[in-house]
Amino acid sequence: MVALYDYDPRESSPNVDVEAELTFCTGDIITVIGEIDEDGFYYGELNGQKGLVPSNFLEEVPDDVEVYLSDAPSRYAPQDTPMRTKAKRKKSVHFTP
């Protein structure tokens, strides 16, 4: 899934436990794990971090679209976590139909 908007749970979350949520930027590719919950959140992973992600901030990438990831990490990526592989560098997305 690709993030449609920036999301910082400390500013926008309806939940009490904001630490359980991921912070992300527009264009980040988030790996969704499992199904959407009753509150409209997915459990996802971004840059090695896992947490809840609001489903209305995501869009599925169509199968016929190629996704190219840049080498720049998300601006919300933890600074003390080294980026080890290109697959974890998920700042921007370029779609090619």
Question: Which CATH number does the domain housing residue 51 bear?
Answer: 2.30.30.40
Pick 97 or 26 by higher pLDDT.
Answer: 26
Pick 89 or 25 by higher pLDDT.
Answer: 25
CB atoms within 10 A of CB 72: 12
What residues make up the domain containing 75? Answer: 2-96
Beta bridge partners of 62: none
Please count the structural domains in the chain: 1
* pLDDT for residue 77: 54
At 30-46, the pLDDT tens digits run 999 999 999 999 999 99
Whether the predicted model's global pTM rises above the 0.75 cut: no
At 38-83, the pLDDT tens digits run 999 999 999 999 999 999 999 998 777 766 655 555 555 554 444 4
CA 25 to CA 76: how far, in whole Å? 7
Contact 24, 3 (CB under 8 A): yes
